[in-house]
């Protein structure tokens, strides 16, 4: 069956450290993968997209990797700040290329 | 641009009541979709539309109807509300479908629905 999993429901880290979130998928062949941020009471907001032929993508303090052999994407936030506390969702296109499928999300808390 | 707007923000219904969740976007996006978000289950697709006059079912369509008479609007109807439909509902839009391009989705602020 098809599945998208994010490694943990919640992750607590100390301010200034690097947060690493994991997204694993099964029985999908995505051409790209996206990461979204969701704050409480709000809709998800797009952060980064990485294509299957890209190993790594960076945007300011964010870095995403994509390993199609392992069927895994890692999302890193360097020099984390309390303002980075949110739920982070990964998403990919389904095998019909019609719709996005979302992982359950990881709730990140950055402690001062 | 207002982006994607949803009304109402909160709603409480009794079992068996009907209602329509409104969604509108002003970005001239062809693709619109409705998701529900439940704890631990992520966003699940209810219905989607690839353009005015065209709709299709997603992963969890039962109990919901949609229509797309204009590019801007994509209302979601609950015909006879059930407690299992208690959830947060998000409307989203994008320029095209997920596989057609690398376009991203823009989400509305959500509607929190409780069915008693």
CB-based contact A43 B90, cutoff 8 Å: yes
Which position has the token pair 């989400």? B107
Closest by Cβ to A102, choosing from B4, B43, B110: B43
pLDDT per position as a tens digit, B62-107: 999 999 999 999 999 999 999 999 999 999 998 877 655 567 889 9
Q: What is the 3-state secondary structure (H, E, C) of A17-62?
A: CCEEEEEEEECCCCCEEEEEEECCCCCCEEEEEEECCCCEEEECCE
Within a 13 Å sphere around the CA of B27, how many CA atoms are in the beta-carbon half? 20
Phi-psi region of B26 (alpha: psi -120 to 50; beta: other; left: phi over 0): alpha
Hey, is B59 helix, strand or coil? coil
**Residues of chain A scoring pLDDT < 50:** none
Q: What is the pLDDT of residue B95?
A: 84
Which chain B residues have a beta carbon less than 8 Å from that of A51? Answer: 102
Closest chain B residue to A37, measured at CA: B107
Task: State how far the Cα of A16 lies from the Cα of A4, in Å rounded to an integer.
Answer: 29
Closest chain B residue to A39, measured at CA: B109
The minimum CA-CA distance between A63 and chain B, rounded to whole Å, is: 18
In whole numbers, what is the pLDDT of chain B averaged over residues? Answer: 93
């Amino acid at each position: 069956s098809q599945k998208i999993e994010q490694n943990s429901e919640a992750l607590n880290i100390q301010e200034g450290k690097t947060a690493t979130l994991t997204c694993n998928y099964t029985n999908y062949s995505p051409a790209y993968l996206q990461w979204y941020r969701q704050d409480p009471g709000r809709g998800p907001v797009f952060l980064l997209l990485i294509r299957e032929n890209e190993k790594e993508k960076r945007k300011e303090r964010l870095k995403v990797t994509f390993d199609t052999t392992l069927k895994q994407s890692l999302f890193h936030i360097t020099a984390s700040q309390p303002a980075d506390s949110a739920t982070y969702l990964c998403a990919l296109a389904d095998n019909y290329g019609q719709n996005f499928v979302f992982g359950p999300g990881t709730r990140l808390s950055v402690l001062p | 641009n207002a982006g994607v707007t949803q009304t109402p923000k909160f709603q409480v219904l009794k079992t068996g009541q009907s209602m329509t969740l409104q969604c509108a976007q002003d970005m001239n996006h062809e693709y619109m979709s409705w998701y529900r978000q439940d704890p631990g289950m992520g966003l699940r697709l209810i219905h989607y539309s690839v353009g005015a006059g065209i709709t299709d079912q997603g992963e969890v369509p039962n109990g919901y109807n949609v229509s797309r008479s204009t590019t801007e609007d994509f209302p979601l109807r609950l015909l006879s509300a059930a407690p299992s439909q208690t959830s947060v509902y998000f409307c989203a839009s994008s320029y095209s479908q997920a596989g057609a391009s690398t376009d991203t989705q823009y989400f509305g602020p959500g509607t929190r629905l409780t069915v008693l």
